[in-house]
Amino acid sequence: MKNLLFISIFLILFLRINPVLSLDDREVLFKDALTASSNGQFEISLDKWNQYLEKFPNDAAAFSNRGNVRLVVGDPKGAIKDQNNAINLDANELDPYINRGIAKEALGLWLDAKDDYSLVISRDKDNFSAMYNLANVEGSLNNWENARKLYDNAAKTNPGFAMARSSLALADYELGNFNKSEQELRKLIRRYPTFVDARAALTALTWSKGNYGEAESNWVAVKELDPRYAEEDWLLEVRRWPPSPVRDLMKFIALK
C-alpha cells in the first residue's frame, strides 16, 4: 500500500513538472503555424510545423500543411513525403491528394499528378480545384481540348473562379476559338478591371487582330499590375499559358 501511494505521489509530481499540452495549447500551436504561413513567413511556419509534429505525429492535417510550406520553400520531394504521410493517416481527406499533385507538377511529373487529381474528381465530381489543376496538367501535355473542357467545368462549378475563366479563354485562344476567347476576356475585365491575367491575354488577342491601340492600352495596365507578364519563360513554365497567346504577346512586346 505504501508503495502504491509513493507511485501515485511520484506520478502527480511528474505531471506537474512535465505538464501534458492541453487541447487549447495544441490549438494555439496549430494556429501559430498557420498564421505564419498565411503571413508569408514560410521559414518560421516550417519551424513551427516541425515543433508541432514532434508533439503530435499523427495529425494528418499538420502533415499536409507542412507539405504545402515545404513546396513553397523549394522542397517538392519533401512536400510529397508529407502529403503521403497525411494520406496514410487519413485516406478519406481529399486535400492532400490535390496538394501532392501540385508538388508532383513542380517536378514535371505530369502523369503522376494527373492520377491524384483524377482520384479526387472520382470521389468528388464537383471539386473545382482538382478540375482546374487537372486542366493545367492536360495543357502541359498539350491536350488543349481536354484542358478546355476541364476549365469550363471548373468555371461552371464555381462561377467566381476568375482564373479558371481566364484559362478557359486562353485555351479557346489556343484552339482558334477567338470570338469565344475575346467575349470571355471582356466579361472578366468588366467585372474585375484589375485582373491582370485577362488584360494580358486580351493584349495579345487584340494585337493579333490588328487592334493596336486597344492592345497598347491594356498593356499599360498590365505592366503596372504585374511586370512578370513580359517574361516568356514565366508565362510558359509558371503561369503555363498556351503557346499561341504567349507567342503573340512576345511579338507585341518585341515591336514596342
Q: What is the pLDDT of residues 225-235, one digit of tens each?
A: 999 999 999 99
Summarised one tens digit per residue, pLDDT across range 22-42 is 557 899 999 999 999 999 999
Question: Quick check: 65 and 33 in contact, CB under 8 A?
Answer: yes
Per DSSP, the chain holds a count of helices (H) and strands (E) of: 15, 0
Which of 73, 94, 124 is the last residue in one of the domains? 124
Average pLDDT, integer, range 236-249: 97
CATH of the domain at 153: 1.25.40.10
Distance in angstroms (rounded) separating the CA atoms of residues 161 and 246: 22
Determine the pLDDT at residue 99: 98
Q: Give this prediction's pTM.
A: 0.87
Split into its structural domains, the chain has a count of 2
Average pLDDT, integer, range 69-96: 98
Determine the pLDDT at residue 101: 98
Determine the pLDDT at residue 25: 85
27 lies in the same domain as 102: yes
The answer to the question of residue 12 being in a domain is no
Q: 3-state SS string over 158-216?
A: CCCCHHHHHHHHHHHHHHCCHHHHHHHHHHHHHHCCCCHHHHHHHHHHHHHCCCHHHHH
Task: Provide the domain limits for residue 53.
Answer: 18-124
The answer to the question of residue 10 being in a domain is no
Summarised one tens digit per residue, pLDDT across range 107-125 is 999 999 999 999 999 999 9
The answer to the question of residue 4 being in a domain is no
Neighbours of 39 (CB within 10 A): 10
Which of 95, 124, 153 is the last residue in one of the domains? 124
184 lies in the same domain as 117: no
- Per-residue cell: 16: 506537474
Question: How would you class 246 by CB atoms within 10 Å of its CB: exposed for 0-12, middle for 13-18, buried for 19 or more?
Answer: buried
Mean pLDDT score across all residues of the chain: 92
179 lies in the same domain as 152: yes
Summarised one tens digit per residue, pLDDT across range 125-184 is 999 999 999 999 999 999 999 999 999 999 999 999 999 999 999 999 999 999 999 999
The answer to the question of residue 135 being in a domain is no
